[in-house]
Chains A and B, each alone.
Chain A
């Protein structure tokens, strides 16, 4: 979840609340707040509310919950003299632009604005792949006609924080932003660009702005371009930016929008309506609310509402990208009421539950294993592939070689356990029941979990029969008649390993044997070990 650092006094003074109230308020808005220093707080905001990535977005929502302002705020919107024309840009076809005037920036709000842009880049922007934002000082733009169009890579401009003209190619090759984002925008030797009529570059999204239009504390009027691969995403991102700035006191101005879309002005500031009935609310929330109450809570959530017959018609503001359908309004109402004010309904049990057949077998087997004198261990599913034999599942992106594969047998994990317990008071009798993963063409993933049990004895002297006698009785108790067939395998001492057969079904249900000293030496185990692994899948009673 994104976290933003906010100047605390902006929030406190605008909302006229105490520190404690701030924490409570933000909790109600799905957010958590932590103090950083006397003047700053860190706020964890949820991904679905990008409008809260800027303190004024939080203030707008909080004012509703506090009942200080209800319904959707009305911002003055004027037509500007500027136009924005979108030409064909193959790699990132969508672009919108907006103007906000009369904003007052200081070093805190400037930092918060840049942070807002960055958080939007990471989340809705999918690291600028889907959406990129350029914020410019409008007063430094010379012409009123601004274009979004492709430019050749030898086109020159002075990028942000540079002092000399550079070609786009140089920017891509020589700047950190160029190296990081160049590969997602260049297509056919062309780069997307925001350009003035006179040819001056404002930005080459998603890489970098020009130095010419950089913003600072003195900036009062700004121009914002938002470009990307999804029209929905770029237009809603711009709506979020301009409305949050309007909440800060800015005046939104529209540009003439010349594009393949049907829209004539940008930003689009689109609203839509969702209708919700009292019945729907009570069905999903489990409490009965009148239409008036529903209206009241939704207006506190900063929605404009209208009662039409038996439904409330809700207008979703342009910045509320999280409202997909009426169920989202149910949550809005619940949040406004406060989750702490909702009383959980008593749960009545109408039917008895059931454990899986695997769980039933696991429980029986645990009891029998304890009865046979084995202590239970519990090890990881992931393993170092060096310990595994035969076919196993490798992880494509492991975080460490120690866990780069999925175990296909419990024997390696048990041997590994024994290796680390040679200092213990002997004898060591241990068992584990757990899943391993094996290939299986019959499943839709091509793999399946296989339930296994493993038994091991380590002592200064131990033999096949010490373990066989115990495992035999465990299996007999499960109504299995085991027989043993000599099994030659590197893992066991020749002549001291066997396959265990479920005689009545003629199914192989496991192996047992004394571990070969060659393997013990490899594992640095200086005690003899006997091990048996039982395959439980055929023993599960369905």
Chain B
């Protein structure tokens, strides 16, 4: 049986045109997805059974025991961290928020080490945004700044941006200009009409110079701005101003380097100023398939998009204080529930060492380096393949994930509900 219009739950493109062949309850073939997507949908080594660490080794156990043990860890912690979320459904995070309220924990998402600074920048400045559909149908200039969709979002260019054919862009790539700004010549840069190489950590200066040129103050600039000639920046500003509809996609090149959220803040100003000349929009290249959705759910339930601390009885948000890296490096949390993510691989070493010192509960379909020190491991169904739910594409469009095949594993929603029930029972007993 071939299932059509399946959503790919890997990256923020959330492609919704994948075809999956299912035979006798197993996925046999994936058509239409990129290498990243098909690798995820085809599946790999799953964690087979729940496990609890006894004397240093993980031992298989029942789901009930794992839920009970997880609840014990959370109830006895003073300030637990509930981290991850970007690769699960909005419904799972809703349960996670209830759990955090119950135990006075912190909910943080992988956004804090990804586009967290972008969100802070947007909170400061506001965003001239659009849907991916508008860009596909109208944009004649695509700018990729500090991002490399050829490797991180492989179908982005074909479905939504530089190579997409749309209503007013019937010629696709031929009818568009593509500009790449980056510190190295990536695969994306090699396919661009123009590549501007900048020095690491100078995005802020370059954006400021472009803003001055666009504001008519080019003559006040020096000949050379952070290693780039003024002449080259004037040409680039001209390219932006003369577009009919321009779109900037930006990636971790802005958020991971010196300046962090200030880079994004400045880029948002550049785009709003470009709108005095032409139509221009800007969008963050969100990584995990539902990192946008979990930000939305946290925002409409607590008022804040990430790093929300429930320890005070009301939501409290202060990135730099309540974000996972800071909590860990300050040893300000004493237990962690890690869901749909792998902090052992993705956080700085000092944070990983802090995490390894405390009791860790892991909920994930797959083994990863975090499993190597987790104390309770609970295998889950893969959302979008074995469980349904809601996810938001990088432009904020919400889409419904379907269940394609059956599984013996419970969904993240069921696991979190069971842990919550156990927590409530333990607290009643006390």
Say whether A associates with B: no
